[in-house]
Structure 1
Amino acid sequence: MKSKRWTALALSLALSMTLLAGCGGGEPAPTATPAPESSATPAPTQESERTEVRLAMLNGPTGMGAAKLISDHLAGETRNDYQVEVASQPTDLTAKLGKGEVDIAALPTNVAANLYQKTGNIQMLALNTLGVLYILENGDTVHSMADLAGKTLYATGQGANPEYVLRYLLEQNGLDGESDVNIVWKTSEEVQTLMASGEAELAMLPVPAATAVTMQNPDVRLALDFNDAWEESGAGGTFTMGCVVARKDFIEEHPQAVEDFLTEYAESIAFIAEGSDEAAQMVVDAGIVPKLPIAKAAIPQANLVCITGSDMLDINSYYEVLFQADPASIGGGIPDDGFFYIP
């Protein structure tokens, strides 16, 4: 699994460099000065010709990969003129996409599928994060999903993707999520408190909440990565929880801006995924993670990728799992190929 993640990043970076070589860049063109007797309008500069892209990211892993792109935009070094906002809830962005107030946005993959089924007016541009769910243990007894048998697991995400994936992986390991494992559903904040205080022995949490717990209580370890559990269970396709989408009409009107975004986004993800101090600071500066130590520790656990083109179709196996658990979670059906931006 690790090699697959880094292969995706390497391919994305290679694509970025190829596109950069073909597009040039350079200094803005000088403004033409009309002759004194002429009333001609000065020629537009390269700056004025940049496409305005209203870009929206989410707090947490789904938004992390865009941190360098946001930093570069603030420094005036991006090809597009990005108008950036960072939201805390996907519903904030789905509403704006529907109203045409946002052009490109990061969303959970199930939310993206749901919105496509309802409106038909978005396409997935890239998958940006693999699974970010972890089993945390205050101890050292759990090394596989099967080891959860007979134990109490505190978890967040009831009625949503975390629950569906957890139950699927338990079933794949011969366990019933009702009788073999005592799952206690609570809010993320409640689960964090129980694990950090040592009152609970096992929990399921996403990054960066899981990261924060391990920093608060050094006795707590990341026992299971759901990406590894997905692969070990024999599940097909890619377990991918985050993506970026764009409005179809924006793609049709500004195809070059979309290609430029994907180039800059791939470079941004590759840089942030390296997990340097500079990358972590960019994530904090962008308002995506609140504290530098958490950002620094969470980046390696966020499983950042940039998967584009036909490779995105691998997510359909994950959508099949969600569909079997609750068809409404992805809008009532597996998205057709029109959902995927494959130029």
Structure 2
Amino acid sequence: MKKRLLALGLTVTLALGLTACGPKAAPETETTPAQTETTPAQVETTPAQTETTPAQSETPTGEKNEINLGLLNGPTGMGGAKLLADNEAGATANHYNVTMGSDPSTDILPKLNSGELDMAALPTNVAANLYNKTGNVQLLALNTLGVLHILENGDTVNSMADLAGKTLYAINQGSNTEYVLDYLLTQNGLDPDTDVDIQWKTSEEVTTLMASGEIDLCMLPVPAATTVLMQNSDVRDAIDLNDAWTQSGAEGTFTMGCVVVRSEFAQENPEAVKAFLTEYEASINYIKDNPEEGAALIEQYGIVPKAAIAQAAIPQANMVFVAGDEMKSISSYYEVLFAADPTSIGGSIPDDAFYYIAE
């Protein structure tokens, strides 16, 4: 039987909810792991915004396209750290006015809707929801695959089918996290309501309980999962849900994070959008290829509070850059969410106009 429990417990500040999610009653506020994280970076600006360095003062931003960009703490924002550093140094083709946030429903969505932000990182379900409700945004790029992991203190679980008869502690009931878990259990012949005892708690509770050894099995996103693995050497990464998605025969790509653009801005500033995509792809690749340097930047901009954890999380964060027609591979993931709860993506599968395809 699934339960909701009150949040309690002390944990490190990087329990990232990514995964994508909010309550059924308000799907437009669904969050990802990056969204439930509470870090010192819960402010609306990065150091690039609050400080004026010599490089910034010497670079005439009036000659550049100005882009108001919103990024999220956690996996969804990790790939943008090099872009923030280059922007602060005046080394980007565009000039980015950056807003950092932890919860898209309060930190990002209102500013997209008002036009204060031109582009923003969002959970993929929130992007679809916003498009279906307003039609004012388009999908620019996919940036994060699934970041959910099942951790075990033991060696009995190696597949989703092995969860039969087990008690699994998980987060974000009534969200994409639950829908994906239920889907994968069903694909492996299990009834989520009867075959697995899923105990729903907060990220903070699950992280604390697993790191302390009080529970033996949980599902967490990166980097909360990374934190547990670093704190408790008896815990192992039993299942990467990206692998489970593929092994279960699911179609398409399990993709939890993306970047959207206001449609009006994209139409009026195609060259700025093109430059952003080039610079953003380079930033993601830099973080993946240079984990030590990238982790330092991730900490510097408050995306994850500790560089050591960020560095360990980078290989698990499943950062990608997918743009153009290839983005449409996410439609199968949207179909899974729609089948579980149509309101989770705004009531319908996004049509082709949702995808920004440069001419």
TM bucket by the smaller chain?
0.7 to 0.9
* Aligned residue type for 2:226: T
* Aligned residue type for 1:206: P
Query: What is the 5 A alignment of 1:50-199?
Result: 50-91=64-105, 92-199=107-214
1:47 CA drift (Å): 4.5
Counterpart Cα distance in 2 of 1:280 and 1:187 = 26
Counterpart Cα distance in 2 of 1:68 and 1:267 = 8
Counterpart Cα distance in 2 of 1:342 and 1:162 = 29
* Aligned residue type for 2:102: S
1:285 CA drift (Å): 1.0
1:220 equivalent in alignment to 2:235: yes
Counterpart Cα distance in 1 of 2:94 and 2:162 = 50
Secondary structure of 1:243's aligned partner: strand
**8 Å contact kept, 1:122–1:247:** yes
* Aligned residue type for 1:190: E
For residue 277 of structure 1, what is the aligned residue in structure 2? 292
1:250 to 244, 261, 265: 265
**8 Å contact kept, 2:299–2:307:** yes
For residue 288 of structure 1, what is the aligned residue in structure 2? 303
* Aligned residue type for 1:321: V
Select between 281-290 and 166-175 the one with higher mean Cα deviation. 281-290
Secondary structure of 1:177's aligned partner: coil
CA distances 1:89-116 after superposition (whole Å, capped 9, x unpaired):
0112111100001011000000000000
Counterpart Cα distance in 2 of 1:277 and 1:131 = 22
Q: CA RMSD in A?
A: 1.0
**8 Å contact kept, 1:121–1:248:** yes
CA distances 1:174-224 after superposition (whole Å, capped 9, x unpaired):
001011100000000010111011111000001111111111111111110
1:48 CA drift (Å): 2.3
For residue 235 of structure 1, what is the aligned residue in structure 2? 250
CA distances 1:37-89 after superposition (whole Å, capped 9, x unpaired):
xxxxxxxx974220110111001000111100001001110000100121000
Counterpart Cα distance in 2 of 1:246 and 1:310 = 16
Secondary structure of 2:158's aligned partner: coil
**8 Å contact kept, 1:133–1:204:** yes
**8 Å contact kept, 2:67–2:95:** yes
Select between 83-92 and 105-114 the one with higher mean Cα deviation. 83-92
* Aligned residue type for 1:189: E
CA distances 1:8-32 after superposition (whole Å, capped 9, x unpaired):
xxxxxxxxxxxxxxxxxxxxxxxxx
**8 Å contact kept, 2:118–2:265:** yes
Select between 300-309 and 274-283 the one with higher mean Cα deviation. 274-283
Query: What is the 5 A alignment of 1:6-45?
Result: none
Unaligned runs of 5+ in 1: 1-44
* Aligned residue type for 1:274: D
Counterpart Cα distance in 2 of 1:56 and 1:220 = 35
CA distances 1:278-321 after superposition (whole Å, capped 9, x unpaired):
11101111211000111011111000000000000000000000
Counterpart Cα distance in 2 of 1:220 and 1:276 = 23
1:200 equivalent in alignment to 2:215: yes
1:246 CA drift (Å): 0.5
Secondary structure of 1:342's aligned partner: coil
Whose radius of gyration is greater, 1 or 2?
1
Counterpart Cα distance in 1 of 2:199 and 2:288 = 33
* Aligned residue type for 1:51: N
Select between 279-288 and 312-321 the one with higher mean Cα deviation. 279-288
Counterpart Cα distance in 2 of 1:193 and 1:148 = 21
1:140 CA drift (Å): 1.1
* Aligned residue type for 1:249: E
* Aligned residue type for 1:66: G
> How does the TM-score come out when normalised to structure 2?
0.82
Q: State the percentage of identical aligned residues.
A: 66
**8 Å contact kept, 2:73–2:303:** yes
* Aligned residue type for 1:69: L
Go from structure 1 to structure 2 and tell me whether the alpha carbon gap of 1:132 and 1:275 turns closer, same or farther (over 3 Å shift).
farther
2:318 to 303, 310, 320: 303
Counterpart Cα distance in 2 of 1:50 and 1:167 = 47
* Aligned residue type for 2:123: P
Aligned length: 299
Counterpart Cα distance in 2 of 1:288 and 1:108 = 16
Go from structure 1 to structure 2 and tell me whether the alpha carbon gap of 1:66 and 1:214 turns closer, same or farther (over 3 Å shift).
same
